[in-house]
Structure 1
């Protein structure tokens, strides 16, 4: 209960909780809709309406976030000029544009102005896809750096040089597996962020028509990524900082 109260105190926490309920609603209405014995259309329509209302609520919670993201880009400009800085700046700018399009969509949903919701929803998902892709690039840069420090190069060299025996190969494989487990345990933040980004990746890909996943599967991916996001908020040591 203390954890729930702590999450509810934060805007990000309320957003993640609403997101979890939003995608859980999608998962439930799709599975109920596909059950031939389930004939209660009111329950399905209520879940669809709940999903829509939670989506609108989350857009309102994020109102003004585009300015926050742009402002948070300024300190990055002082970092050393390398590929990581370039990716960080692109990620922030893409995220700012994503939030901006989200604000426009909310104005349309609130009937405050005339908005082509289909057009702006596509633009919003495109910027969301860019942001997720760039986040994944940062994840893989970090993973690559970790494996440079803790790699299994000795095993790879032995395989290609053919200088290993069966027993030494088994020992090296066991050592590599142990090292991988240690890396996962020490870098939970990176793993949680990677899982979240991989699950999120297929949501805009499906909306934009690049993949043809069912609403139920998209809902399941959204639930998993929302749980990962909540896990990051609950445990500050799991927050990924490249």
Structure 2
């Protein structure tokens, strides 16, 4: 009975489904990669440094051919003429093209590490640098989307609150349309949630931008701080995938 309770527990089922997905395993490996990087700095551990390299390599395998996902998403966004906000639409297209380029170049890095292609100045220096640049372009485009969404959500919240206040002032208690109030409350809740999600993603992208700017040597922060930023964004990614995992 106790065994059945554990085996069929919803959390265990969700964990199994999470680990069964490529994205779930990749996010956990990313967390372990940055934790190992942090330990390698703090304790000067050769084992942690070796584990960091191994986790990084395995993640590259898991992301093989993933650029196709972003290219397809960019194509769908381009074909979708119904999105009235052109800033969000085109920023999302740029974001997906940039992330597709980032992941494609990262596959070249994988082939170089596996010694399938020669390691020279182009594959060993130019390609890794452009990999980080594409990642950065994708993050900037994502930040534009989030800032725009936050602004739109805030305008909607203000408009709904003003409308609700005017309705309460102009009508007495018996004349208030309760169904409309319920509908407005749902819209308000959705706007608050959208603003929260976009703010959270903006912080997430900013932390990743901190990492990539250090990779490009435009910032020169200690490796421990970079690792902690990676840990934070990995946890955010795990949390998002966990919420989307079916029980």
The match for 1:167 is none
Could you list the runs of 5+ residues in structure 2 that have no partner in the other structure?
Answer: 1-11, 162-188
The match for 2:207 is 199
Pick aligned residue for 2:154 from 137, 143, 147: 147
**Shift in Å, 1:148:** 1.1
Distance 2:220 2:111 in 1: 29
The match for 2:87 is 83
**Shift in Å, 1:185:** 5.4
The match for 1:72 is 73
Distance 1:223 1:20 in 2: 5
**Counterpart contact for 1:195–1:228, Cα < 8 Å:** no
**Shift in Å, 1:77:** 1.6
Distance 1:79 1:113 in 2: 39
Distance 1:111 1:221 in 2: 30
Point out the more displaced range, 11-20 or 85-94: 85-94
**Shift in Å, 1:79:** 2.5
Is 1:56 the equivalent of 2:64?
no
- Structure 1 or 2, whichever has the larger Rg, is 2
Point out the more displaced range, 60-69 or 215-224: 60-69
Change (3 A) 1:214 1:57: same
Distance 2:192 2:155 in 1: 15
Pick aligned residue for 2:139 from 132, 137, 141: 132
**Shift in Å, 1:75:** 1.6
TM-score (norm 2): 0.75
**Counterpart contact for 1:132–1:201, Cα < 8 Å:** yes
**Counterpart contact for 2:153–2:192, Cα < 8 Å:** no
TM-score (norm 1): 0.76
Distance 2:132 2:194 in 1: 33
Change (3 A) 1:184 1:30: farther
The match for 1:11 is 22
